[in-house]
Structure 1
Amino acid sequence: MKPSKLEILAYEDTSLGPLCLRRRELLSEPGTIVTEVTLNHEFLMSSYNTDSEREISSRAIFHHGGSGLSALIGGLGLGYTAAEMLRHDQVESVEVVEFLQPVIDWMNDGLVPLSSTISGDERLIVTRGDVYGRLMDPPGTLFDVIVIDVDHSPADTLDENEHPFYTGPGLAKAKQHLRPGGVLAVWSYAQSSSFSSNLENAFTRVSVEPITTENKMVGHQQTDWLFFASDPADLEAPQQR
């Protein structure tokens, strides 16, 4: 069997473990080149299948239903969540908070597929920081949409410790960063009944939506889970900006 072409684009030691950006040709689809990220020697994300990353942005906008939207995204990754958010005319501004500086550098240095697509959009601001820490602090700027695409799931976090964000009190704090009628969206590779319950205790409307795609890299279907929460009754309240 012909070996795949593998190129290491960047390798950095971080507080979460070794972080690697690589590009390779798929053995299953010769000629198809994908960009991948590993963290602590474990697969994290790929440019090959990005349906759920894009869907969480488009569906969050749909759930809100408004225009002139201000969005906060936790996690830059390969940029697909942010790029989809910026694709919609209803979105006025997007701030992405990324914990790892190398990930921001990859985008700025043109190492990832969407670098040129999103870096030139004047609506985008990328900030280095801890989005969870920010959401646990008292609110400053308020947002219409907050998208969290950071951890594998509420029970499988990158730092291997449950973050208070996923708890009832944590979600109540995060909710304070939303404008009236705002939508909180969270990505996960697994369903979580406990997280759904915590959302239902903090918000009046919760929607859990599976995204199933055929993952040819592993030869079977893959289902990711998108959690959306809002208080639709607040839509009748005056919008404070």
Structure 2
Amino acid sequence: MTSPVTLDRREGPYGEVVLRRRAEHYEIIANGTFLMDTSDGRSERLLIDAALAALPEESRTGASVLVGGLGVGFSLAHAAADPRWGRIAVAEREEAIIDWHRRGPLAAISGAALADPRTVILHTDLVAHLRTTTDTYDALCLDIDNGPDWTVTEDNESLYSAEGLAACAARLNPGGILAVWSARPSADFEESLRNAGFSAVRTEEIPVARGVPDVVHLGVRPG
């Protein structure tokens, strides 16, 4: 396996974040935990597609979405490539990641999406934003951790609690979709979604070469 080359390393309010290149791919590491890379964006694209498909057909054109986590930009780029999305907001708390997209090597993935007039980047912590903003969306597509059971920082754990899911529901329009990416299925999180009042709870899987599949957990805020 090719050894990674560190391109940038920064200390921020949430700890260390690192951008590495391994052969032709880029990797983001946060506090020593691998977050994602550019080798395969299928699950990030599924996050967007599954949320849109779960909306009522009459609500899909002009729908609004909040993407939680800019990451390597696959989710944003995929949303911007679909003209049915009317408003695309992305919440990203790490200034370094935003910089890597605006002025660094990740611009190759997200440049067109960032230039799209439907797109706005919110430099903010997603958990805090959900609890303070008055904006509402047709879909929340969240990918800030390796899953509900494997968070990058302890503060993120509250997002998957009853209080955090209530905050998500409050930011969704009636019939809106909550989609949460995870590196592994979580039956406990499915139950948490149901207990929080979400309906039509289900999990879509993306097979991987080895180990358990990546998944997207989905729930509908009742109308």
Q: TM-score, normalised by structure 1?
A: 0.84
Given the alignment of the two structures, is residue 133 of structure 1 paired with residue 128 of structure 2, yes or no?
A: yes
Cα distance, 1:191–1:4 mapped onto 2, change above 3 Å: closer
User: Higher helix share goes to which structure?
Assistant: 2
Counterpart position of 1:225:
215
* Matched residue count: 218
Counterpart-to-counterpart distance in 2, 1:35 and 1:163: 26
Determine which of 153, 161, 176 is the counterpart of 1:159: 153
Given the alignment of the two structures, is residue 116 of structure 1 paired with residue 111 of structure 2, yes or no?
A: yes
Larger mean Cα displacement after TM superposition, 190-199 or 141-150: 190-199
Report percent identity of matched pairs.
Answer: 29
Aligned positions of 1:188-227 closer than 5 A: 188-201=182-195, 202-214=197-209, 220=210, 223-227=213-217
Q: TM-score, normalised by structure 2?
A: 0.90
Aligned positions of 1:1-241 closer than 5 A: 4=2, 6-25=4-23, 33-64=24-55, 65=57, 66-112=60-106, 113-137=108-132, 139-160=133-154, 163-201=157-195, 202-214=197-209, 220=210, 223-231=213-221, 234=223
SS of 1:49's equivalent in the other structure is coil
Which of the pair has more CA radius of gyration? Answer: 1
Counterpart-to-counterpart distance in 2, 1:160 and 1:169: 15
Root-mean-square deviation (CA), in Å?
Answer: 1.8
SS of 1:77's equivalent in the other structure is coil
SS of 2:191's equivalent in the other structure is helix
Are the aligned partners of 1:9 and 1:111 in contact in 2 as well (CA < 8 Å)?
no
SS of 2:100's equivalent in the other structure is helix
SS of 1:173's equivalent in the other structure is helix
SS of 1:151's equivalent in the other structure is coil
Are the aligned partners of 2:62 and 2:86 in contact in 1 as well (CA < 8 Å)?
yes
Are the aligned partners of 2:172 and 2:221 in contact in 1 as well (CA < 8 Å)?
no
Q: Which amino acid aligns with 2:216?
A: L
- State the 1:149 CA deviation: 0.4
Q: Which amino acid aligns with 1:226?
A: V
Larger mean Cα displacement after TM superposition, 157-166 or 122-131: 157-166
Are the aligned partners of 2:29 and 2:36 in contact in 1 as well (CA < 8 Å)?
yes
